[in-house]
Structure 1
Amino acid sequence: MDAFGEMSRRRFVPEETTYSLLISLSSKHGKGEQALQLFEEMKDRGIVPSNYTCASLLALYYKNEDYSKALSLFSEMEQYKITPNGALLRCYVAKEDIVSAEDTFRVLSTCGLPDVFCCNDLLRLYLRLGHLEKARALILKMREENFQLDEDLCMTVMEFYCKSSMVDDAEKLFKEIQRNGKTMKIATTISLIEMYARNRISMFLKEESLPRALDSTDSSAANIVLKSLLDMPEGLSNACQLISKLAREGDTDHAKFLYEQLTALGTKPDDSALATLIVQYGQNQQLEQAQELFQSASASSLVGSHVYNAMVDSLCKCGKTDEAYNLFMEMADQGNNRDAVTVSILVSHLTKHELTQFRKETH
């Protein structure tokens, strides 16, 4: 702002263009108070602000999450016939004011769809509020106009396909992203894999058994996406978290599908994911599935105490306390410490079992 001070000392009278530039620079460099002082001085001089001035100030308010002031500013500036802009749309989106956001978007679309940022803002709002049909209509409009998607908009469109279980469209977009050299964000990749886990398995099961289906998917798009996730930082960790999430939600078939896809790629899921799935099997009284998974994991590599604890818990929940005790004794032989957690699980279930037996015998 030294240049502005020098202009003032030389009695240079700045015009609208100069003020707008200085306001923009002040906003971009985090000097909000200075930008607003310049705006007030601009008004005092009777200089009519431009769309550029308005956009700079709205962007400043948006950055500071002061959306009410942004909207109040726009109302004030409407007297100068200022037209809506992308910064105004972002403020409405942030406030989840869908009606005003749509009205602004329509004004911006007078000569065709606005820029990728505006399209992405409105689409994200639709997804956030669950308006999937409106999201579908906007995406269809973009496709009809051959609208070029940037990386962020690609991710948002992919999120819509995943939420709507549009497997074929998701696969096409994934191939398009790869072909154009764009990078999938890890959160979007997780959503894509979850869609496969929730939908591919049911599609396979219509035609054949699960084991054959799993054998036939080595070169599928699901595996390609999964491989791309594993190449990302913390990719395996995120895949394992997804297995745990699906298991906790009761989707044990989907969780196992993803677990077996990982192992088929030669990757060992962590003990936490395996333990969560085994615990859920026990909760569902699916002891056979829990035992198969435990035995398969134990045969291929050493498993930790978390997995043993999960199997002990599942055996107890399914009424197999003797087998649970035997597994508890086996833990030390396999190099696992029988810690307080294991003892607590076993004692808790044994106590309940003994109490149940006592009640039966006394009635």
Structure 2
Amino acid sequence: MVSWKPISPFRLCSLLRSQKDPSLAFQLFTNPNPNHDRPFRYSLLSYDLIITKLGRAKMFTQMEQILQQLQRETRFQIPEPLFCHVISFYARARLPARALHAFLSIPSFRCSPSLKSFNSLLHALLTCRQFNAMSQLMSRVHHFGTPDACTYNILISACSSQGHVERAWKLFDEMRQRGVPPNVVTFGILTNLLCKNSLVQEAFKLKEDMERGFRLKTNVFVYTNLIKGVCEIGDFDWAFRVKDEMVRNNLRLDAVVYNTLINALFKAGKKEEGFRVLEEMKNNGCKPDAVTCNVLIVEHCRQNNFVEAYRVLDGKEGVKPDVVGYNVVIGWLCKQGKWSKAVDLFHDMPRRQCAPDVVTYRTLFDALCQWMQFAEAGLILEEMIFKGFVPHALSLNEFVEGLCREGKFELLLTVLNELGRGGLCNEETWKSVVSMVCTRENMSAPFEVFDTLVLA
């Protein structure tokens, strides 16, 4: 008879680290020794590992179950960074209310929230674009500590997201008046904001203040912002001078810098110069990434050179593009009226190991409706609803109107059934169907449609 050795707390941590499937990791954590009745003594590390794994997988129901169990633990002190991670997981999932709840629940874990977790919540609200909530939260900052550079960087980022240059400058002045030294991140956010608002001269002056007044070295992010700024105003000589300065300062030019230059040159119609920069990029050992591919695809499509666009999709640049590249090609094919080729590429995406996203479906569905390819549009809509994607309301109404106008009531019945199952039969859809079918002389088909609408 084989006797199974029970899993120890140390062994559980090792197994959780190696388990790639978060569902299996959850099962293992909740029942590590199914044949033993003794309570398992979980370590803090095992809690941290499973919460991280579940949070990254957005398995929040299971994660909250583990947190409730952790709340009952009294054998160890629970560190604040664990809650910062939980808050960030909710932020990535755009769940600001849950992020706030996680922050407010920290004391119930016998842990005192400090400025660290406060900043995590503030950043979560920024990620979710809850700017009013950020203002309300800042009124309570004194309960958790004195605002530091991280706090101000988050607030300045919020101003940047909203394009509020003056408000950002006031915050910058305020942090210096309070003796909070700005860091490289602060200057990166500000230069980005200035360049986005075509205040390039001010951005370069800020760079000088950063280097001379604060003795900080300009990093790649700041330089990239400056290059974007001068490219936006069309001064490519200036952009190349900034690039050369980066090289002199022993900063490695990354794909972001090269992609910025290539994209700007292509947009300005400087195609040959753009490809020269691409060659320089490769010669300097900087491998093109998915963004590079997308920039090239846009340029080829702009030139109606779909052969080259497909070549990039095939990975001929040494890297496979992401779904954005496919969406660009499908969009341009649809604009050219080549909807059949767009559909073929769409169906070929899984074989190319690239899953269509909501933009893919919407782009194709909109185009098929525009070109009155209702049968194909119906198939795309059916698959779209099955995958949980929602079409644009305007396109959906135009599609229904087109089916009514063309008298395609059999297809309309099928579509309405699908919309009903997906909960997408809105008021505008009702109005479109009612107004269109009532104009038909043969009223048998319209009554079938009304029956379907009532059942939906």
| TM norm structure 2 | 0.39
Greater relative CO (CA pairs within 8 A, separation 6+): 1
| TM norm structure 1 | 0.48
Q: Structure 1 or 2: larger helix share?
A: 1
Question: Which of structures 1 and 2 has the bigger CA Rg?
Answer: 1
